[in-house]
Amino acid sequence: MTSFPSTNGFFIAGIVFLVIAVLGQTKLGFVEINPGCFGRTLALLIGLISLAVALFGGTSSVETLELLRTYLTNLIQQSMGFVNDFLSGS
């Protein structure tokens, strides 16, 4: 349970950085966000890394990782079937 608060911190930081990367130049209330191209790219990179740390830091059990792998494998197989049907139908 000691890793739970740090996982939440990485998760929140990842979401905040991804919001900065997506919104770009905007005004949120009294705060104006204008990171520029390099700042948006850096925010995207930091956000993705933070979310990856939160995901793999919070799921240390083998069963959870196995379920995630199975889910992603099934999702990819279903997506490939959809893509193949779409390409053959056109």
Tens-digit pLDDT profile for residues 9-49:
888 888 888 888 888 777 777 777 778 888 888 888 988 88
Q: Which amino acid is at 81?
A: G
Rounded Cα distance between 10 and 34, Å, is 23
Q: Are 17 and 43 in contact (CB under 8 A)?
A: yes
Q: Are 86 and 78 in contact (CB under 8 A)?
A: no
Residue 62 pLDDT level (bands cut at 50, 70, 90): low
Q: What is the pTM of this model?
A: 0.55
φ, ψ for residue 27 (rounded to 5)?
A: -120, 120
| Angle, CA of 75, 51 and 2, to the nearest 5° | 115
